Amino acid sequence: MANNTSVSQILPVMATYSRFPITLVKGKGSYVWDDRENKYLDFTSGIATCNLGHVPDPVKEKLEEQLQNLWHCSNLYNIPNQEQLAALLTANSCGDQVFFCNSGAEANEAAIKLARRYANKVKGNCSSEVVTFEQSFHGRTLATLTATGQEKIQQGFSPLMPGFSYLPFNDSEALDKLQIIKPAAVLFELVQGEGGVIPANPDWVKKLAQICKENDILLMVDEIQTGIGRSGTLFAYEQYGIEPDVISIAKGLGSGFPIGAIIAKEEAAKGFDPGSHGSTFGGNPLATAAGLATVTHIIESNLLSQVKEISAYLDKQLQGLKAKYTFIKEIRGIGLLKGMVVETNALEIVQKAITKNLLILTAGPNVVRILPPLTVKIAEINEFTEALEKTFLSIEKGE
How far the first Cα of the chain sits from its last, in Å, is 41
- Residues 105, 15 within the same domain: no
Q: How far is CA 61 from CA 56, 69, 181, 340, in A?
A: 9, 13, 50, 36
| pLDDT the model gives residue 127 | 87
- Residues 159, 295 within the same domain: yes
The distance from CA 377 to its chain's CA centroid, rounded to whole angstroms, is: 22
Alpha helices in 256-334 (DSSP H): 266-269, 285-300, 303-324
CB 85 within 8 A of CB 292: yes
- Give domain status of residue 278, yes or no: yes
- Residues 63, 13 within the same domain: no
Question: Domain range spanning residue 111?
Answer: 57-300
Q: Helix 378-396 crosses helix 303-324 at what angle (to 10 degrees)?
A: 30
- Residues 267, 310 within the same domain: no
- Give domain status of residue 184, yes or no: yes
Question: How far is 335 from 342, CA to CA, in rounded Å?
Answer: 20
Q: How many residues does the chain have?
A: 399
Task: Tell me the CATH number at 341.
Answer: 3.90.1150.10
Q: Last residue of a domain, which of 282, 300, 318?
A: 300
- The one-letter amino acid code at 235 reads F
| pLDDT the model gives residue 9 | 65
Q: How far is CA 111 from CA 60, 147, 246, in A?
A: 30, 11, 7
- Give domain status of residue 27, yes or no: yes
- Residues 139, 174 within the same domain: yes
- Give domain status of residue 179, yes or no: yes
| pLDDT the model gives residue 298 | 97
Question: How far is 309 from 364, CA to CA, in rounded Å?
Answer: 28
- Residues 45, 101 within the same domain: no
- Residues 157, 281 within the same domain: yes
- Residues 365, 306 within the same domain: yes
Q: Helix 57-67 crosses helix 285-300 at what angle (to 10 degrees)?
A: 150
- C-beta atoms surrounding 312 within 10 Å: 11
The rounded average pLDDT for each run of 10 residues, N- to C-terminus, in the chain (399 residues) is 52 90 97 98 98 98 98 96 98 98 98 97 88 98 97 96 97 96 96 96 98 97 98 98 98 97 98 96 97 98 94 98 96 98 97 98 97 98 98 87
Residue among 279, 274, 253 at smallest CA distance from 104 = 253
- Residues 354, 228 within the same domain: no
- Residues 92, 201 within the same domain: yes
| pLDDT the model gives residue 5 | 46
Task: Tell me the CATH number at 129.
Answer: 3.40.640.10
Question: How far is 232 from 257, CA to CA, in rounded Å?
Answer: 22
| Structure letter (DSSP) for residue 135 | T
Question: How far is 254 from 283, CA to CA, in rounded Å?
Answer: 11
pLDDT per position as a tens digit, 166-221: 999 999 999 999 999 999 999 999 999 999 999 999 999 999 999 999 999 999 99
CB 100 within 8 A of CB 288: yes
Grouping H, G, I as helix, E, B as strand and the rest as coil, residue 362 is strand
| Structure letter (DSSP) for residue 196 | T
Let me know if 23 is exposed, middle or buried by CB neighbors in 10 A (0-12, 13-18, 19+).
Answer: exposed
- Residues 117, 261 within the same domain: yes
Q: How far is CA 104 from CA 78, 227, 374, in A?
A: 23, 11, 19
Q: Last residue of a domain, which of 242, 271, 300?
A: 300
- Residues 135, 215 within the same domain: yes
- Give domain status of residue 65, yes or no: yes
Q: Last residue of a domain, which of 278, 300, 322?
A: 300
| pLDDT the model gives residue 307 | 95
pTM value is 0.95
Residue 135: what are its φ and ψ, rounded to 5°?
Answer: 75, 10
- Give domain status of residue 2, yes or no: no
> In the chain, which ranges are E strands?
24-28, 31-34, 39-42, 97-101, 130-133, 164-167, 185-189, 191-192, 198-199, 218-222, 246-249, 260-264, 328-334, 337-342, 358-359, 361-362, 367-370
- 11-17 contacts, C-beta under 8 A, 24 or more apart: none
- Give domain status of residue 1, yes or no: no
Question: How far is 212 from 188, CA to CA, in rounded Å?
Answer: 12
Give the count of domains, the chain. Answer: 2
Grouping H, G, I as helix, E, B as strand and the rest as coil, residue 34 is strand
